Structure 1
Amino acid sequence: MHRARLRVGGLVAVAVTLLVTLTGGLAYEVVAHAQTDQVIRELRYTADHAVPTQLPGCTFLYFPGEPGGGALPPGFPLRADLDAVRASGGAVERSVDANGTTYLVRTQTQAGGRLVQAVFDTRYQLADREHLLVALLIAEGVGLLAAAATGWAVGRRAVAPLAEALARQRRFVTDASHELRTPIARARTRAQLLARRAAAAGLPAEHRDGLDRLSGSLRGLGDIVDDLLLSARMAAGQASADGTDLDLAALTEAAVTAERERAEQEGVVLTVARPPEPLYVTGVQTALRRAVGELLANAVRHTPGGGRVEVSLRRAAGQVELTVSDTGEGFAQDEAAHLFDRFHRGATGRDRQFGLGLALLREVVTSHRGTVEAVGHPGAGARFTLRFPEAVPRVVT
């Protein structure tokens, strides 16, 4: 929601800023064009009709070959223009940058055949444009602040209904998960008890297997409920709050120990390699334990009998790196970006299927300021790598 507010607010701010900039730019161009047209009209009128004793302000006239010739700024007259007009009989008009200003210069022959060069100093017009530009920049700054405030307000109002809907959804998931955990736990306990009684009573093997499968299904249902509850807490930012310094290596070893029995039942060799010293990260133990357990369970689940699942931990550039590699069925690398989507299926619909677990794994990792990387090849195994910022354990005095 925070990113959505920022995105909406940013778009509104950019739109308002562009509008103010466009308006200011058009105003500046209109004023500059109007000034230039006015100066050109005055310059042409002066060159046609004026005499040195009756000149408008900032205007200079030069009559070659006449006594005095007229007063001009330094660097004038432009002899090349005078020669060109004598040769062609037409008029030459140009702008010249000199003496810290810009001059508009027109050289022509008056109606009586008199050669004249008129010069207009535009320093006051340029000063007016500079003042206008400063005013527009100030207005742009004020407009930018107003745009940011408007964007922030619009973003909050636009996203508010969506935020409320998501909050209701999270509350529903949390409440439903809490309410379902107890009856599911009771049902699983009852199924386990019935399975033991069935074994003691000597019931047929298919009945005992059915009760075992029922117990396993209830366990899976309980895991899904726990995943939903943890996902809701992660989305609300609760599970990542008040994190403590944890030894990720010890936590991973405990998860490997818990998963080893299932791996042995599947005929999969599960190994772990870690440095002798602790590898500390800051986080919530239950959330990280769930993430590592899901990563191991996923590797074992998709590795056929006789395969291997290797777990390794190490330090790398200020981070703690956890890698889980398997020799299982793997996946196409172009599908790696979708592995963490909820309930994703393989491209053919019969390929590797993913439920809520890997999506929850990514939520846990990102909420702990970490990253997750998946590399795989069809039929050649997969490798998942989790990276977390390394924590310096706090010393209690």
Structure 2
Amino acid sequence: MSRVPASTEARLLRRATWRLGLQVGLSVAAIVVLLSGLAVFMVLRSQQDDVTTLLQQAVSQADDVQDPPAGVWLAIQGPGGLTATPGAPAVLPDRAALANVAETGVARTDEVRGGGAVYQVYTQRRDTQLVQAGLDLRSNNDERERLLAAMLVSGGLGLLLAVGAGVWLGRRAVAPMATALGMQRRFVADASHELRTPLTLLSTRAQVLRRHLQRGDSRERLTAEADGVVADAGHLADILEDLLLAADVRADGLTTTLDLVDLAARAAAAGTPAAAERSVLIEARPTVPALLVRGTHGGLLRAVTALVDNAVTHARSSVAITTRRAGTTAVVEVSDDGPGIDPAVLPGLFERFSSTRAGTEPSPRRHYGIGLALVSEIAERHGGHVSAGTNPDGGALLTLTLPLADAGQ
């Protein structure tokens, strides 16, 4: 399974978020434009109907040209000649429209421009007269422009809000994807870290077994090596099962009752060969016969082993594993006589991929500090926690605290 760098994942997620936000924003913008266009069309249609109705009523009710409705100019052409409302614009009356209606007898509506204004003119034959009414459309046009400007501003603000809401919704929609990618990355990192040592041991045992077979060694020797391969394969299977259990958010898995004192002794025994190579002595110090907790054997053993390995790495000569009861909790304390923990490192000691390790100075080489981070995650899965501090002798003190299986025991 190929891994995508975290920075690349972050870029892809940001790009997906913005793309989704823009798509939502553009969709909303298209809807706003469509509704705005429909609203403008309805307003313009309403204005046109109102103007037409006003002019038709003015023509049908006009007895003379002296008292037209507000904003309307009248003209009447009869046997006695053409009369018009005093003060009418120079382009009114529209003589061409009067001549056309006189000839055809069909009423008509026209637009006349002049003097920087637009007039709508309605001409109709009425008995022996031709009556014409004209209305200045500037107020209607001004109202339409104000409406368009208001819609443009509100549409722009609506678009910005839609994009913002889309980005926000995009982040919420992409969040599960980010979580899934993070879980995938964490699982790969956990598996790589946890499987490195058992796979190396399994490969070594298999190579040793092959050499024994090639030399034709005794059956007892071959059986012992084969048993070692089977044991290492079983350990590998336990680690895989625990990793898969940790990756499944639906799983509980805390169904087995385990003795933390026994797990600490096992971790001490497992760490003794590596400690001996560094001239470090590991000592298990149980203060009670047993500490029963509920959890997964592989996970808790890995957690205690990781604390011991960390202590062995930084100890000068000794590592102590103390198991004790504290109220309703079981406590495993792993201390060493090394240089202790730099206070600057302490806040991020249990974070993944820390650039420094406990008891060491920062170096240009990047250290993948995932071991202690896994201890913290295992502790949290078991309802406990892990902490770090300084023991009285000045070395590091790492403490794993877990709830007892039976608080009343």
User: In which range does the TM-score fall when normalised by the shorter chain?
Assistant: 0.3 to 0.5
TM-score, normalising length from structure 1?
0.46
Larger Rg: 2
TM-score, normalising length from structure 2?
0.45
